[in-house]
Amino acid sequence: MDLSDPTALSALELSRAIRARELSCREVMSAFLARIQRLNPRFKALVNLAPDEALLREADAADAELARGHWRGWMHGLPQAIKDTGQAAGFPTTFGCELLKDMTAREDSLYVARMKAAGCIVVAKTNMPEFGLGSHTYNALFGTTVNAWDRTRSAGGSSGGAAVAIAQRLLPVADGSDFMGSLRNPAAWNHLFGLRPSQGRVPGWPRPDLFVAQLATDGPMARTAADLAALLRTQAGPDPRVPLALAEPLPDAEAPARSFAGMRIGWLGDLRGHLAVEPGILEVCEGALRTMEAAGAIVEPLAPGFSPAAVWEAWLVWRRALVAPGVAAVLGLPGARERIKPEALWEHDQAQGLSFNEFMRASTLRSSFHAQMLRHFARFDLLALPVAQVWPFDAAQTWPRQIAGRSMDTYHRWMEATLYATFAGAPALSLPAGFDAAGRLPMGLQLIAAPRADALLLDVAAAWEALDPGWLARRPPEPAAAAEAV
């Protein structure tokens, strides 16, 4: 293992080197801070960075603990940045909204506390779209996070800052959150692994509502399957304050069955033409599935078995009901309506006439959809479809208005492929699937497992990595030293 550039190592490689005293926490922190200073102004992935001097003092304290024989855990001394939806004590929690720029957290979110207990040092927050709405990371407060592979393109979102920070080696690993693909889409567009856990796997605390608002979840993103698994195991687990948290633990980290032999995969594709998809995306995903077939998987085309149009309408009701209160809380501030992006106002305003009966009808349809997904999982280990319906688009756009000649009727219709795992409460993996015809822009394959089968997806990620398709180890081009910031 080459230790000359700590930022080139995986999180677990760094962990082993620190514990063996082959690298000091100060050396690791210094290397990442130098890279952050050089590259972050060009990508705008990290925001509200802590002062270097304070972070180096924390690294020195972590080294002193090691010298005394105290090891906090596998993240001991690793720099970590928290998505700006999460609370990290002493850092602002802005949700990408300039109206909240001075809202400093007094306590840690539960998953942040768990990562700190495992030894990480919080260096910053990661950028996101305002209120996490839309899969394109831009806001008036911090600007636009651009793609790690092409700085003229979108990084995805809403965990876009996290994805670019990992891909450009500003962080060894990162957390994110996922409502409508917010971990999966940026992972796909930056050639990473991203995992949306099962509903309740990573409990959210503190939150104003603990019973209804279950569509969003925190989760991990990483360059390697092993790092992904390590971070999820740190974030996951029950907490007595969170009544709907899953009680059963993930299995201990062991050598997984790194084989696709006999694995049954149902290929949903574009849902028999329902999803608008840009040219080349389905072909890249089908190429990844053929690689799995060559390794012994059984892949079959699969009809949805549900009405995508009806599920979409039910989804809109749930989304409005859950998004609107967060926007409403900020609308009370002076001048808020003029300063909040129109998509957030649309979500809020659409929800104002929503009745409880309408919500319950949508919930009933969701229950029927969930039952159909369980019938699929009685036949298949995994369901597959693209993570994204478009290639990374021009970063100057707010969202794609058309896909393959079809108009998008909402700001998030182009992200429709990601809602099915969320609505079923199921875990979903964004797995690097390949690149566009020019070999420049990444794309991901979305694999959905049955609810609570998160461990299967961790095994699948490791199995995919073990197959070692020649392009999987590709990393984004190193920006030229004299390049101008975007």
pLDDT digit string (tens) for 50-75?
999 999 999 999 999 999 999 999 99
In a domain, 183, yes or no: yes
Give the helix, strand, coil percentages of the chain, each rounded to 5.
40, 15, 45
At residue 441, φ and ψ (nearest 5 deg) are -110, 130
- Contact predicate 28/14, CB 8 Å: yes
- Give the Cα separation of 418 and 422 in Å (integer): 7
Higher pLDDT, 373 or 469: 373
In a 13 Å sphere around the CA of 287, the CA atoms on its Cβ side amount to 15
Separation CA 436–CA 442 (nearest Å): 7
* Two structure tokens written together for 442: 């990444």
Confidence of residue 14 (pLDDT cuts 50, 70, 90): very high
For residue 123, pLDDT over 60 is answered with yes
- For residue 414, what pLDDT is reported? 98
Q: Mean pLDDT, to the nearest integer, of 112-136?
A: 98
Say whether pLDDT at 472 is over 70.
Answer: yes
Catalytic residue among 182, 198, 341, 430: 182
Task: Let me know: does 458 contact 225? Beta carbons within 8 Å.
Answer: yes
Burial-class residue 321 by CB neighbours within 10 Å (0-12, 13-18, 19+): buried
CA distance 416 to 388: 8
Q: How far is CA 204 from CA 87, 93, 428, in A?
A: 11, 15, 18
Nearest to 148 by CA among 10, 264, 42: 42
**Model pLDDT, residue 111:** 98
pLDDT of 485 reads 45
The CATH number that applies at residue 256 is: 3.90.1300.10
Residue 133 domain-assigned? yes
pLDDT at 416 over 80: yes
What's the average model confidence in pLDDT over 63-89? 98
Q: Nearest Cα to 157, choosing from 48, 105, 83, 81?
A: 83
The pLDDT of residue 469 is 85
In whole angstroms, what separates CA 113 from the centre of its chain? 19
Q: What is the pLDDT of residue 222?
A: 98
Asked if residue 486 is part of any domain, the answer here is no
Structural domain contains residue 131: yes
Please, what is the Cα angle at 84 between 98 and 402, to 5 degrees?
A: 80
State how far the Cα of 314 lies from the Cα of 367, in Å rounded to an integer: 10
At residue 480, the pLDDT reads 80
Average pLDDT of the chain to the nearest whole number? 96
Total residues belonging to the chain:
486
pLDDT at position 197:
98
Residue 479: inside a domain, yes or no? Answer: no
Q: Is residue 473 part of a domain?
A: no
Mean pLDDT of 71-99: 98
Instruction: Give the confidence band of 483 by pLDDT, cuts at 50, 70, 90.
Output: very low
> One of 10, 158, 177, 430 is an active-site residue; which one?
158
Total structural domains in the chain? 1
Catalytically annotated residue among 15, 44, 83, 154: 83
Mean pLDDT to the nearest integer, 458-472: 93
Percentage of the chain exceeding pLDDT 90: 95
What whole-number distance in Å separates Cα of residue 175 and Cα of residue 218?
Answer: 7
Residue 184, SS3 per DSSP: helix
State the pLDDT at residue 470: 87
pTM of this prediction?
Answer: 0.97
pLDDT at position 371 is 98
Quick one: pLDDT band at residue 486, thresholds 50, 70, 90?
very low
Tokens of 308: 């995508």
Instruction: Decide if 70 is inside a domain.
Output: yes
CB 77 within 8 A of CB 29: yes
The model's pLDDT over 140-173, given as tens digits with 9 standing for 90+, comes to 999 999 999 999 999 999 999 999 999 999 999 9
Q: Which domain holds residue 106?
A: 10-467
Give dist(CA 241, CA 383) in Å, integer: 33
Closest among 255, 190, 257, 254 to 221, alpha carbons compared: 190
pLDDT for position 254: 62
Per DSSP, the residues of 108-167 read --HHHHHHHHTT-EEEEEE---GGG-SSS-EETTTEEPBPSS-TTBB--SSSHHHHHHHH
Which pLDDT score, from 0 to 100, does residue 319 have? 97
253 alpha-carbon distance from chain centroid? 21
pLDDT at 251: 82
Torsion angle of alpha carbons 178, 182, 186, 188, nearest 10°? 70
Q: Does the structure show a pLDDT above 50 at 45?
A: yes
pLDDT in tens, 387-402: 999 999 999 999 999 9
C-alpha closest to that of 419 among 410, 435, 234: 410
Per-residue DSSP letters for 394-418? BTT-SS-SEETTEEPSSTTGGGGGG
Is there a contact between 472 and 434 (Cβ–Cβ < 8 Å)? no
477 within a domain of the structure (yes/no): no
Q: In angstroms, how far is the first alpha carbon of the chain from the final one?
A: 34
**Catalytic annotation on 182?**
yes
Q: Name which of 323, 333, 328 is nearest 100 in CA terms.
A: 333
Q: What is the pLDDT of residues 241-289, one digit of tens each?
A: 999 999 998 987 665 556 899 999 999 999 999 999 999 999 999 999 9
Distance separating alpha carbons of residues 400 and 417, to the nearest angstrom: 15
Tell me which residue of 33, 236, 220 sits closest to 121, measured CA to CA.
33
Handedness of CA 264, 287, 301, 427 (dihedral sign): positive
